[in-house]
Structure 1
Amino acid sequence: MSSCLLVTCLLSAIAATGYSLSCIECTSLGDTLCNGTSKTCPAGNDICVLSYIVTSMGGMEISKMYIRQCGQSNLCLKTGSISLPNGRIKAGTTCCKTNDCIPANPILPPDSTTKNGLSCKTCFAPNSKSCDTDLLTDCVGTETMCINQVTTRTGDVPTTTVVRGCSTKDMCEPARQVWNLGKMTVYLENTCTNSGIDVQSSLLLAIISLGLFWKFSC
């Protein structure tokens, strides 16, 4: 009886100390997956996330980016797109749950040219906190949400960027995000609307905006 009680106490003590996952933190431009430094994840981050973003303008791919970092399990298997003036950004995320693991390569959503009846105001404004526009874009495929997002980056090159356009619904979850990527911190706040209904902001859109930051600031 006493030995069973001792084992129970030991297990309780181990559980109380918690378990800290470690994930690789890095970013890379191009087709090659990045490999960086192992970081201990903060509380609440229980997975290692891999994000892949492809930006196209005028029908041509102009940038590709991989991001690896700590994250939360509700970010797993996300995929979506956002349409901007004469361009589109596609993004996908995958995850794994062991120290410094490598998630499967994300699968991006297929292209679509089929209009779905929704039109959204659209603009991309680097180095700005607002993006007022009368320019509209016709949404296609599963892009059934209108996005207005403000992303602020601190660090060596601080900047604020505003993005508006059509978006897939999957990008409107979860809410506000703060990313700590080495010397850079990214703060995200966006609003998705569908027939005037407000929904939550998106980590995946933060990934997309980060990809735009990299493209236009490097």
Structure 2
Amino acid sequence: MTLLIDNDIVHKLAQLDLLDDATPILRERYGNLEVLNTLRFKFCPNGESKRARQEQKHTPEVIGRIQNFIDTAVTEVDCEITDSALLEAMAISDDGLDVGEMQLLQSMIEREESIMFTGDKRFLKALAQDENISVHMEKLEEAFVCFEQIMIFLIKEFSFEYVKQKFLVALGLGLKVDSTLRMCFEGLEQAEESRVFENLQLNVESLRRDTQSYLSTLTAWVIPDDQAGHEGELAATSE
């Protein structure tokens, strides 16, 4: 089994200081973890770039967590896109099919068993709308996990209060954390577990409606039964 993780997910988990916590659990469950070799060059430059100095989301602490993850926990891949259906889809895409995500997709369809963590909602929606990709539907069905599903998983694994404190610390440091996550933790310090679960699930279901059957429905990525069924409404973002 292989878990493919896009750059965006690694970055978001590093911001929340949840990357080190999640890694051993993911390795135990999925075995091999793979990332694109572009992750290192995007977030771990040899010298501090002007952009990195300007954007607080690239702090030395966040960069260090990503560097450690790359050096100790994953396999870096450089996958050439060769599948004709993927190439055709990219040729007619309006940029929704990100090259990095498509490289991971190429790796996925070459494997017997794999799953992908992606933080790119535009990619999943574009994938669902492209008829070329349908030839791989059997391989890709329920093969993707979005960021909100990962947060549900981590709260279940480490407790709501643990994840909430990680989120609040990241905010306190001025990091530009995921905007949807900010909405889900409404009330910030006063955020309540049932409401956060509900908000996360509302965003998952909104994405699911736009992405056919690509999102996983396994228990790991679903809110606990005792948290399901609460009334409420939060507008899902298109990030």
Whether the TM-score (by the shorter chain) exceeds 0.5 is no
Structure 2 length-normalised TM? 0.26
Structure 1 length-normalised TM? 0.28
The higher relative CO (CA closer than 8 Å, separation ≥ 6) is in 2
Q: Pick the structure with more strand per residue.
A: 1
